[in-house]
A and B are shown apart, each in its own frame.
Chain A
């Protein structure tokens, strides 16, 4: 019943936004759109680089987003590498040092080693993207090819997914991974991650996910796992099993081996905020934990009866709690 209400609420809220989408009703509308797409391509061809692992020869793509040579790419492109060979569309070759990566979001950073200034693209958050928004994908499919510029693909946001992933119908293939998805203003809004069986399913790590892990990646930290986070036995946890209720997240059980128990949390407490962010749902919880790694200290605010309390807990690997439990 509640679900229906929420759906209805979002539907009515969504209506004015739907009206706001640019409507294509004539060839003239298409011509305006074409001009915007070509502008994006003209400005961003030179910032779309091919990244090659000097160890394996494996090839992906990346995009330069600052004058001092910061490159955004996919975590699975740089995995296992300290340095990457960077090839510009004109064939110029440089080197980049791998910084950090959030594997859960398939997000990573590297920095060009040579002297700048480098050409770069602006970035923008991806949460404001709407289903139906037009986007442009570039990259170096099947690796760097000196006979062509990075091929242009045009499409729309088909749906938005958990952890800021975006699905578009801009067709991608191997080698595109790590390449940029642009909005019509030429700002990077996503990084190519993976594809589905259907041509309409091309998944990109949204820039909002990069932004929430930005400082940690820049500082050289790597964490998380590719694919389903819940299948990682060593994922960072605080040791609380939650249940979603209309009032918020209810603590259902607290294993005695975990840090949350030691900090005083007990079943029946109602958690309202984690790591400084208000939290009402399990989806929101997954979003917060995607940016956290083992050893991070976070605050947890909860209510017990009329009393509010805030505690600090350090994240531990899930496997540690399970091991202690078996003993």
Chain B
């Protein structure tokens, strides 16, 4: 054991020497590595039950992801990393390759059920993640009992689905008025347009509470769901009045599709990312440093309870975890059958793409109409001007 440790430290230190570019002095690196080894040894010594329930999924020579036992020769794994791949197999506890095939899907959660003939493992007992507080320690446990990573609960469960949020459909003038916010633009066909909110109106209150500025307003609105009906107090030409719009789902406009290049560059400075990593309707976020092929690992707390499953690596600061209670609810429902022709991978993606396409078409139509009107007006000027 001691020799093994000694070896690991040495190899890590020499690896550090190759990474001199990042400028951590070797003695500091040796010290933090040794400290990390202490932590990982403590976790290995705890022998969490999760290690007997997690298996590596392969195709050819390549490890794809991990899967967690559901009992009865079945594993739960990340769908988008295994679908459409040939000759799937799973390594069992004795490192024997057992053939596997996808037999069911929970497409919205990006989960697939694998049937693995000859796999002997008990079904995983999922624990509740809702009882964990911010800062709780979380560990992703590998089949060999080691932790692949240790991190903390960064953000409690929330929905990443934009479709669940309610939208008023206005753009706000960012200049601060001290009290109230000015509407800069109203999206056509939005909730705001339906109740007659116009550019230039000043929103003073939401549900009777004063609004100090842009962020207070957007925070209050974004915490509301589609279908909610907030009372909005407005000021127009010194007249006060109130409207009660019914919030809608987000209307996607072309300019929303652009994302900050700077953030994207920083995300790339951080290892691999899962292809499907957004739009989950209930995930917790951790700072565990994992790679995309670590998806499917069981996440345990310090009591050894299996509180979730790694579902995506989503960037430099974020690993996404499906909470245990959501998984146990989901697997009680019937999975949709797997059809190899089925191309929709990941949560709600097919639907979103169709919606986005329709929106883009509508925007183009609106632009064509506007262009036509502009030309008509110009033509009018040309013929009758002055």
Contact = CB atoms under 8 A, between A and B. Distances in A.
A94 B213 CA distance: 8
A84 B253 CA distance: 29
B264 to A, nearest CB: 10
Contacts of B216: 91-93
A37 B42 contact: no
Interface stretch (B97-105, B218-226, B244-252): B218-226
Interface stretch (A144-152, A282-290, A311-319): A144-152
A156 B289 CA distance: 14
Contact of B24 (A30, A34, A158): A158
A151 B269 contact: no
B49 to A, nearest CB: 14
B366 interface: no
B307 to A, nearest CB: 14
Given A27-B46, A153-B152, A147 B223 contact: yes
Interface in A1-20: 11, 18
Interface in B19-52: 19, 21-25, 27-29, 31-32, 35, 38-39, 41-43, 45-46
Contact of B136 (A34, A40, A148): A34
B221 to A, nearest CB: 8
Contact of B219 (A40, A91, A167): A91
A156 B137 contact: no
Nearest to A170: B287
Given A27-B302, A41-B135, A173-B315, A154 B215 contact: no
Contact of B270 (A18, A151, A174, A199): A199
Interface residues of B, number: 62
A240 interface: no
B152 A37 contact: yes
A69 to B, nearest CB: 16
A38 B135 contact: yes
Given A24-B35, A30-B42, A146-B223, A199 B215 contact: no
A191 interface: no
A45 to B, nearest CB: 7
Interface string B301-321: 010000000000001111000
B287 A171 contact: yes
B266 interface: yes
B28 A136 contact: no
Given A33-B137, A87-B219, A173-B317, 12 more contacts: A24-B38, A34-B302, A37-B135, A38-B136, A91-B220, A92-B212, A149-B155, A171-B316, A171-B317, A199-B271, A200-B22, A200-B24
Interface of A: 11, 18, 21, 23-27, 29-31, 33-34, 37-38, 40-42, 45, 50, 52, 54, 57, 85, 87, 91-95, 131-132, 136, 141-142, 144, 146-149, 151-156, 158-159, 167, 169-174, 176, 195-201
Interface of B: 19, 21-25, 27-29, 31-32, 35, 38-39, 41-43, 45-46, 133-137, 151-156, 158-159, 165, 174-176, 212-216, 218-220, 222-223, 260, 262-263, 266-267, 269-271, 285, 287, 289, 302, 315-318
24 contacts: A26-B42, A27-B42, A27-B45, A37-B152, A41-B133, A41-B134, A50-B215, A52-B215, A91-B223, A93-B214, A94-B212, A132-B32, A146-B218, A146-B219, A148-B285, A151-B287, A155-B287, A156-B32, A158-B29, A159-B28, A170-B287, A171-B270, A171-B289, A199-B270
